[in-house]
Structure 1
Amino acid sequence: MRRSLLGISTIVASAWLAGCQGDDGTASSRDGVHAAPVAEEASHATPDGIRTAARGPNISIVFHPVDNTAANDGAFFLAELTIVNESAIRLESDGWQIHFNFVRRILDEGEGNANYKQRLAAQGVKFSKGDEAKSGDYWVLEPLANFAPIEPGGKRVIKLLAENWAILKTDAPAAFHIVFPPDKDAWALQSSVVMDASDPKQTKRFPGDVLPAQTPQLRYDENGPLNKVQLSAAHTLLPTPQSFIQGTGEYRLGGPRIAIEYQRGLAKEAAYLKAALGDVLAGSIDASERGQCGSEIRLILDPHAHTGTESYTLEVDAQKGIEIRGVDAAGVFYGIQTLRQLIPIEAYRAAATPGPRKLSVQIPAVTVADGPLFAYRGMALDVGRHFQSKATVKKLLDLLAFHKINKFHFHLTDDEGWRLEIPGIPELTSYGSRRGFDVDEGKQLHIGMGAGSDLAPGDGIRGKARTEAEANGGSQPTYQGYEQAALNFVGKGSGYYTTKDFEEILAYATERHIDVIPEIDVPGHARAAVKAMEHRYKKYAASDPAKAKQYRLVDPDDTSKHTSVQGYTDNFVNPCLPSSYAFLTKVVQEVKARFDAVPGAKLTMIHGGGDELPGLSSNVWWQGSPLCKSNPETKDLGDEALKDYFFKKWQPIIGKTGARMTGWDDIIHGGLQLEGFVPMPWSNVWGWGREDDAYKYANEGRTVILSHATNLYMDLAYNKDPDEPGYYWANFVDESKTFNYLPFDVFAIATHDRMGNSIDPSTWASKTHLTEAGKANILGMHGLLWGENQKSPELLEYFAFPKILGVAERAWNRNTPSAADLPAAWKQFVNTLGQAELPRLDFYRPVDTRRELSRSVGVNYRIPLPGARIENGQLLANVRYPGLIIEYSTNGGKTFSTYRGPTAVSGSVVVRSKTQSGHVSRVGKVN
């Protein structure tokens, strides 16, 4: 399941005093997000105990997962939800409702086993879906007649059972808000989560889970003797070049003037280089077309520069200067990126801190000949679940280009949000891009994934925290792991890109030789579009029936019943309606128009979605649709055949734009043949049976983009630490999973299942392995970042870096190591990270040729916690990336000392890592 919740969660949290904020109905944002227009929120009388119209009741929620092993098979877990009433309100047996988001299904009354049964009625409460449609992750807690009131100053613990497990704090429910009917205002309640990492019942998913929870002692053993090595110039580069020859001496680049000479056709590349050098060096920088004498840097197109498209040679000569020859313009561009990485880190540091920039730098004399392994080196970003601003996307694109990634799979639509303005269908963004407190969803989608309008007003929830620090319990989030703020409305549930925004993103990507691949996810994962088109239908039904039906996506009389993996019951596009295809045609025409408006932008592919239609053993997709039965083309088709029918019509709609169709390989699971379709196989979870799908397709002659969840899903938590954010249904995925990924032999790395159990290598003997002919059909690979937990730009960067660096290395470096060579390659890689790559990211500034971006510096990459243990009264510590600083504290973190070797300690000790720029990891307590 691509974003399966089998083993994931988003569970409740705790809360304290809700913050002060005005709520004037205007849409705003911390970083310039374009929000949909919002209606003025009505003012209502406030119940006793709410102090002002802008401040909510002082009621908080604490979530505590008590026992994940309550069911021996992992079917459910026991949790406690504590309501803490510090307000002046008496919570009676009626008159209030508490809404929240929780991706786990709360068990029905009486469900459970012999030891545990759901007993909510005896506690005087009930849980049910919180919206009128009863669809998705939105829940409501309500009192029953036998509910004993919670007095002011009192609290109540509610015991409940929910599906599967909760072993990370981001599994907690989020976005609690209380309503006092008939009052229509919702008031934010702050929430938190309490977990004990030392209690196996809270960190073990079920008895078969043998993967240990992270501790400093475990990290110490995992890190092992990772000695710091002296880096050669070659090993400061990432991804690793194919050929690197160290020359004699260095070239001094700079002075009062730098001259760049470029061949015709390379003006954009020269402008990019000029801007990049201008961010680092003082002095003037000129760029002119070939013909100028005495240029320090020369950019040349040369079809024989190296082997294959996007290839280049870079020569730095101590006397003659710098010459970059590219097979094509992309090759020249990647040569520029290599040159940028050869600039000493000290120059980047100087440029990012107060004081003068360096006038010149010394570049080592080298000859680099380089080219990519794969034509497709990508990253996928989901902005449907949580929106990311245009500026955030641009920064990410520049970072991807810096590491020679050339494809950006843009997941623009999903159940929780539609993020692209489509002229002629304004409802997609005026309605489908907005989330808020709207139980009947008359004006917007309901709150989802814990977010509406972030901390801004306009989503119908009053009294939210005014700042991230307030949402976080009083301290500014560092976004180096779990933060309480992520449970308390931080996150852009609302927002979209205007046509102008999207064209700007396309232009920015095109300058960096990145192809943008937009995804329109259908026929499942389409709730935002479906609900928006129903909103449109109601708007025009009386005045213009034809317009009302023009883009309708559902049969209103369909009695089919389904529940998606994410709990949605109304998120399918109906394949039997001509209006469904009219809608899709209009959407892709407008998408194509955006590309046509940007010089040089190439619409190479459109991703058609196609994943996660729930199993037909317990679901009906469209068999209850009268319109399917009355359509001559579909009346005799079963649900599987209707799905195939849909994609046979969807693919040519995409094809008419000139783009090729790619999509999730669910589309062809049933054997559907679509000429030219490029599958993205993702569901390779070890032991689930689909581990070899990618190789089957490639051996059959299909072009394949590797998208394996076990190693390439960057939204999955780094490891089994309750303070690591993310999901973990397919695996825990850190940078070792991406770096050690072997695209042509995934079975060599399939040594343990997601529960930590060893896998006998003979298990893979019966699976399809990649043939030499099949190898040629692997177009490439990408890292995928789903958005459920990316609630801030900082969290996006935390999840992506350094994981995406492993993807960049594997996708570019033609010298793929064998499984036997991986340990040695890993030791070199972590030294490159610790000594060169991460220090560069500390001071990274996106190249900004048109002055579109803020001058912010740095990347919020994940800083690994140190490993540590105490033996015979001495602290022993190590860190994953040689080059990072280890610090320890013996006074509970009040002060820290630098660890330089075995150190005598007593009492409680906490440790942390620190970067060269002074940023720190969260702390670990050493027992």
Structure 2
Amino acid sequence: MKNKTIYLSLLTTFSVSSYAEHTQAELLQSIATQLQIQHEFVDSNPKQCPNELEDCYLSKIHLQYPEDLKPKTNDWNIYFSQLTPVQVTHSSEFSITHLNGDLHRISPTSNFHGFKAGEPITIEFYSYGSQITRSEFMPNYFVHTDGLDAIVIDSTRTALDLETGLETQAYLMPFTNEQTQFKLSETDNTQWASAEQIYASTESIAENIDISTSLIPQPSSFKLISKQVIDLSQGINLTLSGLNKGAIAAAINRLEQFGFYQNDNGIAVNITVDDTLDMDDEDYLFSSQASQISIQAKTDTGAFYALTSLAGLVQLGTKSVASVEISDSPRYSFRGLHIDVARNFLSKAFLLKTIDQMAAYKLNKLHLHLADDEGWRIEIPGLPELSNVGGKRCFNAPDKCLMPQLGSDITGSSQSDGYYSVADYQDILAYAKARHIQVIPSLDMPGHSRAAIHSMEARYQKYLAKGDPETALKYRLVEPEDKTVYSSIQHYNDNTLNVCMDSTYNFIDKVIGEVQSMHSKAGMPLTTYHIGADETAGAWINSPACDILREKEAKNIAGLHTLNGYFIERVSAMLASKNIKVAGWNDGMGETRPENMPQKVQTNSWSLLFEKGHIATHKQANHRWDTIISTPEATYFDFPYQAHPKERGNHWASREISTRKVFEFMPDNLPAHAEFWFDKRNLPYISDDSQNPLAAGIRYKGVQGHLWSEMIRSDSQAEYMLFPRLLALAERAWHKADWELDYDYSGKTYDRNSDYFDAQAQQQRELDWQRFASVLAGKELAKLALADVFYRIPTVGAKIDNGYLKVKTPFPFIAIEYQQKTDESVKDKNATEGKWLPFKPNTKVSGEVKVRAISADGVRKGRTLNL
């Protein structure tokens, strides 16, 4: 009670109109608790951009204080994250300065003489590029003055909606104008995903589809043996031959979660693993009959996948499965998911839960993005600064943390902060191995390396202070004499390793050695290491060390476009000497000389299809490199599900990536998507494959989904973005559908009129989608809910037709609610106005109507749409 009294007393002191009684600390506290900040997104496509910018957008920040407040001095500042740099500020009382990355500073000018009670001060400004979704406008503004700790301004914090669990942003004014707050250009044809638009663009799903004989991902060969169902009510009785029970324990555990326990009285499940069988390692044969369930596989992995298929046949609430025969084989050997835990940290518990779901749908590669500009997320023995400094963000303490970015908290202990200890990482590896998933670590270099650079600078200063310059320099990553001025794609001026210094390679060798050791001790040898290697433009131009390297190694670097190619080739050789395959993003890997690269190389191709991205993909695949399709328009799950401001996500590659769009992806034939997909402004494009086709017989190694975390600050937000889209990715990674258009090695040109993907293929795709959507909604959403996965509940398409409410969802079997509000003059006093009611066919409505869907377990509500 005493502390509460002191707090209330301070609030009373803060609200007085005269600054004279305020200390500087009280001023900061009063601003943090009472200043109301409203960020207004004004125009996504102004008629004229300042400074001859090609793209810009207009915003306003409104500052309002409840009482008169006249600071004695103007030596305080407000800081906030703005993804793209502010270019021009229109305000006589405040200026905005871009500092580094996305961090900006709002400073009072000499014309600022204080706040008047309740009267807002508005700062208008233009920013470079574009922002279009609400999640791109970051929270957690904070106030600071020299000598005191920074404090987050309360009015800029986020909250959670209690019914949906989704983030709310009270500091951000509503987005309501479809022209000025939604369009990227005058030609932008993107449609706002209103209830009416969703209804018009959503195909109805047949309600009589038999899902008992189907599962996700679809097997390569599937046959119904009989109409007799297999009784699992007494559980399962396992008999194993040629394998250890531990190899399938995770699959057994999943069956137990569904209520099917091991029991001597249960149906016989006979599993045989025989390495002499004529099949590949991940293949299996499955047969369910009244007398027994039989499984045959060449390896433990095949047996594991067979049991996951048994779980896939199960519909919760039933105690039987269909009598079927399955002969199954994966489409790709690499079926991956990339998770970025660097930008914003995601918990170990989240990773373990996600690994469970990956295994359930036969994904087998977890690409962990453990380091980037905004964070280093793995403990490296001998280099504690990497995790102690690089693993958290706070303000004005470069020897203790990284600077705030991406709307992060500034305490250094929020969920966005953190790292995996050696023990944590080994636990993740062991957990993945038990589910037949390989973990591929990624510590992005030489660009995207600000966390590493600043952590090693803290180390450098520590040992310098101890009088040990030799140790200090051993792992230093930057050259003080390098006067190069550059700006990365995320607007950092200090995020690129100096690739011309031996200490850089000492550091990399140390890190790789320690990571390799962790893998070895966890029983998962490090066989592939992803170096990133992308986005380094502008670095090393005025570096003395690089001048020396260019002169000394002139013959060895001849033919390289940039020194990034030199770096990749050198690190690739280092990895090869440790029997580790190098992997990297295709833009960086394209800067190398293929003849100087190791025999085994992995490239992740993320080039945009509507920007002729198939050309770069084909070129690297033709090097005989293991090419992993990472096409953003279909595999980047940090983009919105729908084109709506409230849907979380980025937008630079696509305004919407629905579960259906992922399902429709044809990874083997990239240029063909020009027939039915659009660019990021929803306009048609052309893919000319006549000059750069794949060489005859070349095939891709696999496909990978991606979750970048710039706009993800919690585990639940990450799950929302992954699920249920991840299931559609698993479908395409494991199974090639009959309707997919085979790649034509002769090279063709595709556009909206080329019609290679003909009407018959379109009809087949529609029928297959209806099957997939029915299985997803009828079986898998309930399983996700049972596992406490925060999957996205679909928004409801709706319209009012002659007074009757009509609804559609992308998946069947989804429970829907509606709410209506009628005019006071005609309101029925007995009506249930304002209450959410279950939707039923022939529901008559009037007035203002809202609709929403409900989760499979009936607990959560989906995002509401108004009609």
TM-score > 0.5, shorter chain as reference:
yes
**d(CA) in 2 for partners of 1:695 and 1:816?**
23
Aligned to 1:476: none
- SS of residue in 1 equivalent to 2:496: coil
Pairwise CA distance, 1:214: 1.2
Q: What is aligned with 2:42?
A: 66
TM-score by length of 2: 0.86
- Does residue 630 in structure 1 map to residue 630 in structure 2? no
Matches of 1:274 and 1:199, distance apart in 2: 50
SS in 2 for 1:606: strand
Alignment of 1:157-176 (within 5 A): 157-176=122-141
Deviation digits for residues 548-571 of structure 1 (CA, Å, limit 9, x no counterpart): 001011111101111001011111
Q: CA deviation at 1:147?
A: 1.9
Q: Does 1:317 align with 2:242?
A: no
Higher relative contact order (Cα pairs below 8 Å, separated by 6+ residues):
1
**Counterpart residue number, 1:759:** 684
1:872 and 2:815 are equivalent in the alignment? no
Deviation, 1:273, is 4.1
**Are the equivalent residues in 1 in contact too, given 2:36–2:65 (CA < 8 A)?**
yes
Are residues 715 and 278 of structure 1, via their aligned partners in 2, closer, same or farther at CA, if it must alter by over 3 Å? same
- Give the deviation of 1:389 after TM superposition: 1.1
Aligned: 1:729 with 2:649: no
The alignment of Structure 1 onto Structure 2 pairs a total of residues equal to 791
Q: Cα 1:769–1:612, aligned 2, differ >3 Å: closer, same or farther?
A: same
1:124 maps to which residue? 93
1:661 alignment partner, one of 559, 573, 582:
582
Q: Distance in 2 between matches of 1:412 and 1:458?
A: 18
Alpha-carbon displacement from aligned partner over 1:123-146 (angstroms, at most 9, x marks no partner): 2211113xxxx3211111001001
Give how far 1:834 is off.
Answer: 1.6
Determine if the alignment matches structure 1 residue 558 to structure 2 residue 482: yes
Give the 3-state SS of the residue equivalent to 2:512 in structure 1: helix
Which of the numbers 431, 437, 442 marks the counterpart of 2:395?
Answer: 437
Question: 1:698 aligned to 2:621?
Answer: yes
Rounded to whole Å, the distance in 2 between the matches of 1:241 and 1:701 is 26
Asked whether the 8 Å contact 1:549–1:579 carries over to 2, the reply is: yes
1:838 aligns with 2:781: yes
Contact 2:37–2:155 at 8 Å: present in 1 too? yes
Unaligned regions of 5+ residues in structure 1, if any?
Answer: 1-19, 22-43, 109-117, 287-292, 348-360, 460-490, 845-857
Aligned to 1:447: 404
Alignment correspondent of 1:907 = 847
Deviates more, 1:693-702 or 1:201-210: 693-702
Q: 1:145 and 2:110 equivalent?
A: yes
- Aligned pair partner of 1:862 in 786, 792, 799: 792
Q: Which moved more, 1:626-635 or 1:136-145?
A: 626-635
Is residue 273 of structure 2 the alignment partner of residue 278 of structure 1? Answer: no
2:558 paired with 1:586: no
User: How far 1:252 moved relative to its partner?
Assistant: 2.7
Residue number in structure 2 paired with 1:796: 718
Q: Does 1:652 align with 2:577?
A: no
1:221 aligns with 2:212: no
Judge conservation of contact 2:67–2:117 (CA < 8 Å) in 1: yes
User: Displacement of 1:60 after TM fit?
Assistant: 2.5
2:567 partner SS: helix
Partner of 1:75: 55
Give deviations 1:603-642, integer Å, cap 9, x for gaps.
Answer: 221001111123xxxx3x1121112223463579698342
Cα pair 2:184 2:681 within 8 Å, conserved:
no
In 1, distance between residues paired with 2:469 and 2:503?
13
Contact 2:372 2:451 survives alignment (8 Å): yes
Identity %: 27
The structure whose residues are more often helix, as a share, is 2
Mean Cα displacement is larger for which, 373-382 or 742-751?
A: 742-751
The amino acid of 1:554's aligned partner reads V
Q: Which runs of 5+ in 2 are unaligned?
A: 1-6, 9-21, 157-170, 741-756, 823-832
Match of 2:270 among 298, 312, 315: 298
Task: Say if 1:875 and 1:904, in contact at 8 Å, map to a contact too.
Answer: yes
> 1:78/1:340 Cα in 2 relative to 1: closer, same or farther (>3 Å)?
same
**Structure-to-structure mapping, 1:364-403, within 5 angstroms:** 364-403=322-361
In 1, the alpha carbon distance for the partners of 2:38 and 2:638 equals 25
Sort the Cα spacing of 1:501 and 1:816 in 2 relative to 1 into closer, same or farther, 3 A.
farther
**Counterpart in the other structure of 1:326:** 297
Q: Which residue in the other structure is 2:64 paired with?
A: 84
Change (3 A) 1:199 1:276: closer
Counterparts of 1:194-273 in structure 2 under 5 Å?
A: 194-253=173-232, 255=234, 258-273=236-251
Q: CA deviation at 1:839?
A: 2.0
Q: Distance in 2 between matches of 1:187 and 1:924?
A: 30
Look up the equivalent residue of 1:207 and give its one-letter code. Answer: E
Partner Cα distance (2:28, 2:689) in 1: 66
Q: Do the aligned residues in 1 keep the contact of 2:394 with 2:402 (CA within 8 Å)?
A: yes
- 282 and 880 in structure 1: CA distance in 2 versus 1, 3 angstrom threshold: closer
CA distance in 1, matches of 2:642, 2:402: 33
Q: For the structure 1 residues 82 and 92, does the alpha-carbon distance in structure 2 shift closer, same or farther, using more than 3 Å as the test? A: farther
Q: Which residue of 2 aligns with 1:106?
A: 86
CA contact (8 A) 1:515 1:604 kept: no
Change (3 A) 1:231 1:237: farther
The alpha-carbon distance between structure 1 residues 669 and 149, as it changes in their structure 2 partners (threshold 3 A), is same
Q: Do 2:344 and 2:417's aligned partners in 1 also have CA atoms closer than 8 Å?
A: yes
For the residue of structure 2 that corresponds to 1:345, the secondary structure is coil
2:165 alignment partner in structure 1:
none
Letter in 2 for 1:795: Q
Cα distance change, pair 377–270 in 1 and its aligned pair in 2 (3 A): closer
Q: Deviations over 1:366-400 (max 9, x none)?
A: 22111101000000000000111111100000100
Aligned mates of 1:678, 1:61 — CA distance in 2: 50
Shift of 1:402: 0.3
Asked if 1 retains the 8 angstrom alpha-carbon contact of 2:78 and 2:144, the reply is yes
- Counterpart position of 1:572: 496
State the secondary structure of the residue aligned to 1:57.
helix
Does 1:336 pair with 2:307?
yes
Counterparts of 1:423 and 1:646, CA distance in 2:
24
1:411 paired residue number: 369
Classify 1:243/1:284 alpha carbon distance in 2 versus 1 (closer, same or farther; 3 Å): closer
Q: Determine helix, strand or coil for the equivalent of 1:603.
A: coil
CA shift digits 1:20-67 (9 cap, x unpaired): 99xxxxxxxxxxxxxxxxxxxxxx976346779xx9421121111111
Aligned-partner Cα distance in 1 for 2:58–2:266: 74
- Corresponding position: 1:346 with 2:324: no
Task: State how far apart, in whole Å, the 2-side matches of 1:523 and 1:211 are.
Answer: 36
Which residue identity is paired with 1:690? Answer: G
Change (3 A) 1:421 1:48: closer
TM-score (norm 1): 0.81
* Contact 1:681/1:693 (8 A) holds in 2: no
1:101-136 Cα deviation digits (max 9, x unpaired): 11111004xxxxxxxxx434xx2211113xxxx321
Structure 2: how far apart are the matches of 1:207 and 1:92?
47
Query: 1:209 Cα deviation (Å)?
Result: 1.1
Instruction: Output the CA distance in 2 between the equivalents of 1:300 and 1:907.
Output: 64
Rate the CA distance shift 1:66–1:270 in 2: closer, same or farther, 3 A. closer
* 1:445 aligned partner, one-letter code: L
- Tell me which residue corresponds to 1:474: none
Check 1:826–1:378 CA distance in 2 against 1; reply closer, same or farther (3 A cut): same
Letter in 2 for 1:658: N
